[in-house]
Structure 1
Amino acid sequence: MYWKTLTYFGDSMLLIPTAIILTLVIPFKSSDKRTLWYWIMTFGLAGLIVSLSKIAFLGFGIGSARFNFTGFSGHSAMSATLWPVMLWLLSGRLGTSRWRYAAIAVGYFIPLMVGASRLALHYHSTSEVIAGLILGYTLSSAFLMAQRSTAVRGFSLLQLAAALAIPLMLMGHGRIATTQQFLAHLSVKIAGIEHPWTRAKLLSMRD
């Protein structure tokens, strides 16, 4: 149960609604009008790269048997893209204090635990988790670097509660997104094959 709870912090059922909330809130909290577009490009690029890597494998068998790699871990990549930015925004009222840096550090720590959960639950290989974390951390760090001079307005307690209400409800519900199944179906259609590639088929090529 512990690992399943942690892995949900990287599930699309939680991350996509949370990313939408960020998109709606950023214009009211950032002093830079470009922040919103930076965020949309950051999260969208992460999703696009992850999806393309999965389609490449599921539809065309593009992967690495040597490194047991079938595409970026979506949970790892997307959580590493979102949570550092989420904690950066929520900690705006803390100014430049060490508490704000501590909050942002939590945003970087959450994806590490998500990645560990994917390994513990045997959903991904080590190479897929590491690649996903590198992708997500690179994008979120680039976003935060671009916002170094941006002032962020703090949340009142009521605003904070409202911003967290939907993510907390989704976590309580625990429904898992069917993103993988959708991408598998799409990959089959694009490649014109009957069945998607599997990890077992890829690894059998190594023998």
Structure 2
Amino acid sequence: MPELSDHLWYSITSLGGAGMTLPLAFAIALWLAVGYTSRMAAGWLLLLGAAIGVVTVTKLAFLGWGVGVRELDFTGVSGHAMLSTAVYPVALFLMLLRAHPAVRVLGVLLGLAAGMAVGVSRVVLSAHSPSEAVTGCLVGALAALLFVRMAWKAQPERLSVLPVAVSLMLLAVLMHGVHVPTQRWVTHIALKVSGHDRPFIRAKWKAIRNVPPATAPVAQTHNLLAPPASFHA
């Protein structure tokens, strides 16, 4: 991994936070509705919503029932990586609508690179495993590229570049570092739906197959750790 200070890694990872990316996503939808059609705005929000759904389902599955892939250390798609990889390419695409197609492509690639940097930061800061960061980037990139393909031939003169660029950049500055407790919300939902008192934890899940939630009786956990009877022969 690149040798950067922890402060810089935290600054990079905050670029993928929901407190920053979701306001940007809604601002993009608003500009699309104003400059083009509500259908285009809805298309963008549906694609992003589907990507958010993938993240949410995988997190719920692990937190509530311990569903994951041990071989890949996968416990759920990274939301930071997904949101940044989905939102920034579309934001730059919108700001560069009047530019040459090659410049627009470059903007989209820069947006994807920013999302991948956020994904790397999640691994460096031990917030996610590599598999979770990679899948987050892939899901976000798919949503972004599908929208770019859908909107590629949009008439650029219908939006003024300066107000779009200024509003999105100003919003990014104002919302940078704003924390939204999405993980806590997802955990709360997982516990409500699964009926468990505590969520599944990565460390115990990796150590023991079919581990019960953290509130399982001590005797039950001891039985799981005990070797089979045949070992005592």
TM, length-normalised to structure 1? 0.91
- Identical pairs, percent: 28
2:195 aligns to what?
192
1:21 aligns to what?
27
Secondary structure, counterpart of 2:71 in structure 1: coil
- Give the unaligned 5+ runs of structure 2: 1-6, 210-224, 226-233
Secondary structure, counterpart of 2:98 in structure 1: helix
Distance 1:155 1:201 in 2: 53
User: If you compute each CA radius of gyration, which structure gives the higher value, 1 or 2?
Assistant: 2
Moved over 4 A (4+): none
Deviation, 1:148, is 2.7
2:112 aligns to what?
108
Question: CA deviation digits over 1:153-179, x for unaligned, max 9?
Answer: 4534344323322221111xx232211
Given candidates 146, 152, 161, the residue that maps to 1:148 is 152
User: How many residues are aligned here?
Assistant: 203
Q: Assess if the C-alpha contact under 8 Å between 1:46 and 1:139 holds in 2.
A: yes
> 2:128 aligned with 1:124, yes or no?
yes
RMSD, aligned α-carbons: 1.8
Rate the CA distance shift 1:156–1:69 in 2: closer, same or farther, 3 A: closer
Question: CA deviation digits over 1:101-127, x for unaligned, max 9?
Answer: 222221111111001100111100011
Q: Which amino acid aligns with 1:136?
A: G
Deviation, 1:33, is 5.3
Which deviates more, 50-59 or 148-157? 148-157
Given candidates 174, 177, 181, the residue that maps to 2:180 is 177
Q: Assess if the C-alpha contact under 8 Å between 2:96 and 2:161 holds in 1.
A: no
Please give the residue correspondences for 1:1-207 in structure 2 after superposition, counting only pairs within 5 Å: 1-30=7-36, 34-96=39-101, 98-153=102-157, 154-171=159-176, 174-205=177-208
Q: Which amino acid aligns with 2:126?
A: H
Secondary structure, counterpart of 1:16 in structure 2: helix
Q: Assess if the C-alpha contact under 8 Å between 1:64 and 1:202 holds in 2.
A: no
Q: Assess if the C-alpha contact under 8 Å between 1:42 and 1:81 holds in 2.
A: no
Deviation, 1:147, is 2.0
Distance 1:143 1:100 in 2: 13
Q: Assess if the C-alpha contact under 8 Å between 2:17 and 2:80 holds in 1.
A: yes
TM, length-normalised to structure 2? 0.81
